[in-house]
Amino acid sequence: MARIAILYICTGKYDIFWSKFYKSCEKYFLKEHVKHYFVFTDSLKVKSSNRVHTIYKESLGWPYNTLLRFKLFLFIEEELNKFDYTYFFNSNMIFRKTVSEEVFPTAAESGLLGVIHPGHYNKKNSDFTYERNPNSTAFIRQGDGEHYFMGGFNGGISKEYIMLIKKLNENINIDLSKGIIATWHDESHLNAYFVDKKIKILSPAYGYAEGWNLPFENKITVLDKSKYGGHEFLRSTSTSSKNFFICFLKSLKDKLLFK
């Protein structure tokens, strides 16, 4: 039985997705293994428990909530080292079918897992929306790269994934020091990290866009944000200063209790 760490961010109004994600993940994802959830949030709707650990995260606005996610994850590096595998999921994802050990990458697969983006599975390399600015650490040359991976679901063996987290945080900081933000933020940097590695690859079945007609079984759905108020609504902040201190104190307590 493996120990699984799940990374999840729901700041601002993205907390509306938490309940559905959690319930579906408990029902369908790695049911035979022990799962712990590390939830970065500014919401009181996410309740801590023995396996749900809340870490206060103030909304930084767009695009920094997504761009700086790797910096967040380093805050709990010590805890992640206690787990066999670590996975990140976008907040608007929901499990539809059983997802089991097929998500476990081997050492021969760099210990890492990526999911082919549903909008790019049938496209040519020249159509991939890689970062093309040579001054960015996320730069990928024309002709390089066989797949375009989505940023919403990735992970792997914890020690390998922590190495990924550290490197991408470093690269993003280098870019920011130059005034550069990659085209698709964290996703651009993830693709650059994967481009020269053999990794475990999953099909868009594990990132099936809601409402699309794709030739894959729908195992994990990416919910359509327009049905929940749209990007601008969800990115806005709903946390009061009172909530700030309550959540912050709760996150500290939870961190001290975690074993």
Task: Walk along the chain (259 residues) and give the pLDDT tens digit of each residue.
Answer: 999 999 999 998 899 999 999 999 999 999 999 999 999 999 988 999 999 999 998 888 878 888 889 999 999 999 999 999 999 999 999 999 999 999 999 999 999 999 999 999 999 999 999 999 999 999 999 999 999 999 999 999 999 999 999 999 999 999 999 999 999 999 999 999 999 999 999 999 999 999 999 999 999 999 998 877 655 566 565 444 444 444 444 444 444 444 3
Which pTM does this prediction carry?
A: 0.89
Please, are residues 164 and 200 in contact by the beta-carbon 8 Å criterion? Answer: no
What was the pLDDT predicted at 96? Answer: 98
What was the pLDDT predicted at 12? Answer: 87
Specify the CATH number for the domain of residue 152: 3.90.550.10
- Closest alpha carbon to 187 in 204, 167, 168, 166: 168
Please, are residues 34 and 117 in contact by the beta-carbon 8 Å criterion? Answer: no
What was the pLDDT predicted at 63? Answer: 82
DSSP string across 127-188: G---B--TTSTTB--TT--S--EEEEEEEEEHHHHHHHHHHHHHHHHHHHHTT---TTHHHH
Please, are residues 3 and 83 in contact by the beta-carbon 8 Å criterion? Answer: yes
Q: Domain range for residue 79?
A: 3-257
Domain count, the chain: 1
> SS3 for 215?
coil
Please, are residues 231 and 51 in contact by the beta-carbon 8 Å criterion? Answer: no
